[in-house]
Chain A
Amino acid sequence: GAVVSQHPSWVICKSGTSVKIECRSLDFQATTMFWYRQFPKQSLMLMATSNEGSKATYEQGVEKDKFLINHASLTLSTLTVTSAHPEDSSFYICSVIGGVMAEAFFGQGTRLTVV
């Protein structure tokens, strides 16, 4: 069964609105989760590291005020794309490190389309 659940799987929103994406760790507690972004036919790029109970760490070039990350519990991290624009249309995917072998488990991803 799924180890990491991401919701929604896809979303279409109007330009200027905000969209929240949830990443849930189902099988274990996660003090750290990672958010990646994948533009069409491109690779995955790390956006930020979500830390439970503290501020997220953003990669260079990622606007922290635009991509709000909240990791309020050990099983849930949320990514909110604020004032979305068409160029934010992308596939967003989270990962959680866990399990016996301590490996990265990925969510199903969220395909965001901003119109």
Chain B
Amino acid sequence: AQKVTQAQTEISVVEKEDVTLDCVYETRDTTYYLFWYKQPPSGELVFLIRRNSFDEQNEISGRYSWNFQKSTSSFNFTITASQVVDSAVYFCALSADNAGNMLTFGGGTRLMVKP
């Protein structure tokens, strides 16, 4: 069975601070895919990143960066110089396939960035 754990339910930071959202996963599959989604108050899910289990390279996209560590089964997400618009719920998710069929979501982390 697959499981995704986001230990931080809520994080509050002040604008311009860096913040890291933790994600730990469990799976018996040797090939799997990890995702991060952003859910703003409006509710829709915004795709942020997809990473396969064979690619442990860290990725940076603007103020966002991701650290995939297979040894600790973690896929953490860092926002540098946070902004108020980053306030949302962030979900880490796991799928056995590349496309994101039948995603297993973590509990989500609510990030509040205060001005």
* Chain A residues engaging chain B, CB cutoff 8 angstroms: 32, 34, 36, 42-46, 49, 91, 93, 95, 97, 102-109, 111
User: Among residues 6 to 50 in chain B, which have CB atoms less than 8 Å away from a CB atom of chain A?
Assistant: 35, 37, 42-45, 47, 50
CB distance from A78 to the nearest CB of B (A): 19
Q: State whether B98 touches A102 (Cβ < 8 A).
A: yes
Q: State whether B43 touches A95 (Cβ < 8 A).
A: no
* Residue from B99, B104, B106, B108 with most neighbouring chain A CB atoms (10 Å): B99
Q: Give the interface SS of chain B, mostly helix, strand, loop or mixed.
A: loop
Q: State whether B101 touches A97 (Cβ < 8 A).
A: yes
The 5 closest A-B pairs by CB, nearest first: A104-B100, A106-B45, A109-B43, A102-B99, A97-B99
Q: State whether B91 touches A104 (Cβ < 8 A).
A: no
Q: State whether A93 touches B105 (Cβ < 8 A).
A: no
* Chain B residues engaging chain A, CB cutoff 8 angstroms: 35, 37, 42-45, 47, 50, 91, 98-108
Q: Which residues of A contact B108 (CB under 8 A)?
A: 42-43
A103 to B45: give the CA distance in the assembly, Å.
Answer: 13
Contact A44:B43 (CB < 8 A) given known A95-B100, A97-B99, A103-B50: no
A104 to B108: give the CA distance in the assembly, Å.
Answer: 18
CB distance from B100 to the nearest CB of A (A): 3
Q: Which residues of A contact B37 (CB under 8 A)?
A: 106
* Residue from A42, A44, A97, A103 with most neighbouring chain B CB atoms (10 Å): A44
Q: State whether B105 touches A108 (Cβ < 8 A).
A: no
A80 to B105: give the CA distance in the assembly, Å.
Answer: 23
Q: State whether B43 touches A34 (Cβ < 8 A).
A: no
Q: Which residues of B contact A43 (CB under 8 A)?
A: 91, 105-108
A83 to B103: give the CA distance in the assembly, Å.
Answer: 28
Q: Which residues of B contact A106 (CB under 8 A)?
A: 37, 44-45
Q: Which residues of A contact B102 (CB under 8 A)?
A: 34, 46, 49
